[in-house]
Amino acid sequence: MGYRIKEIFHSLQGEGVHAGRAAVFCRFSGCNLWTGREQDRPAAACRFCDTDFTGTDGPGGGVFGDAQTLAAAILAAFPYPLDGNGWRPYVVFTGGEPALQLTPELLDVLHAHGCQCGVETNGTLPLPAGLDWVTVSPKAGTRLVVTQGDELKLVWPQVGADPSDFDGLDFRHFILQPRDDAGRGAGDEPGADHVAACVRYCLEHPRWRLGLQAHKFLGIR
Ligand code: SF4
């Protein structure tokens, strides 16, 4: 069967606590909350997705037969030698939904090469053990099975998901990220200022911090 990968690329993390950190991103193809087809968006469990995760045709993408082969492609995407010197290369598994395909074998191979491995997940599927950083981005109307981790990143506003719904969960960081769905038909209040709403919420609820998608205003991937 193999791992179906949309793309593998090196960039700066644009979101969350690790914003600004160089990493190789491995984007898995497929998601359990949307097909990725525009005609299916209105009926999808998640309707504000801003990512193309369909197919295996992106830069560095493809079908990789085993963990060793995929790990080799990920390691080859680092544009500098991976010889340590006091730092660990960072790999971010994203999607789509990485929990559909991520395996302990893949983490083991990357750990053996000194990598740190993070994941960005919608939290509705179990994750393999051994991840070094877990970011959960919950979606309204879905049931979280990943209820602890490093950061909970709520894209907001979302009808049916209030930040207070997640206050009792076991995360080190709580991040409110303004929903960016311009032109994608997922808005429930046209013209609403999502940034202002998130700023207001964080000012009134200091457990939450504002998260911005730096890669978008920097014009990088
Ligand atoms: S869960 Fe994530 S990858 Fe899946 S459709 Fe929603 S935003 Fe996109």
- Which atom in ligand 1 lies closest to the alpha carbon of residue 31? 4
- Is the distance from the beta carbon of residue 33 to the nearest atom of ligand 1 less than 6 Å? yes
Q: Which CATH superfamily is domain 3-218 in?
A: Aldolase class I (3.20.20.70)
> What pLDDT, on the 0 to 100 scale, is given for residue 188?
53
> What pLDDT, on the 0 to 100 scale, is given for residue 81?
87
- Establish whether 96 is an annotated binding residue: yes
- Average pLDDT along the chain: 93
> What pLDDT, on the 0 to 100 scale, is given for residue 191?
56
**pLDDT tens per residue across span 26-72:** 999 999 999 999 999 999 999 989 899 999 999 999 999 999 999 99
> What pLDDT, on the 0 to 100 scale, is given for residue 183?
46
Provide the β-strand partners of residue 104: none
- Establish whether 115 is an annotated binding residue: no
> What pLDDT, on the 0 to 100 scale, is given for residue 192?
66
Q: Which residue type, as a one-letter code, is found at position 3?
A: Y
- Is the distance from the beta carbon of residue 4 to the nearest atom of ligand 1 less than 6 Å? no
Q: Which residues of the chain register pLDDT less than 50? A: 183, 185-187
> What pLDDT, on the 0 to 100 scale, is given for residue 204?
98
- Is the distance from the beta carbon of residue 136 to the nearest atom of ligand 1 less than 6 Å? no
> What pLDDT, on the 0 to 100 scale, is given for residue 182?
58
> What pLDDT, on the 0 to 100 scale, is given for residue 83?
77
> What pLDDT, on the 0 to 100 scale, is given for residue 185?
46
> What pLDDT, on the 0 to 100 scale, is given for residue 82?
86
Q: Which residue's CA is the nearest one to ligand 1's atom 3?
A: 96
Q: Which residue type, as a one-letter code, is found at position 95?
A: G
Q: Which residue's CA is the nearest one to ligand 1's atom 7?
A: 49
- Is the distance from the beta carbon of residue 95 to the nearest atom of ligand 1 less than 6 Å? yes
Distance set, CA 149 to CA 33, 36, 118, 146, 214 (Å) = 21, 26, 11, 8, 22
User: pTM here?
Assistant: 0.94
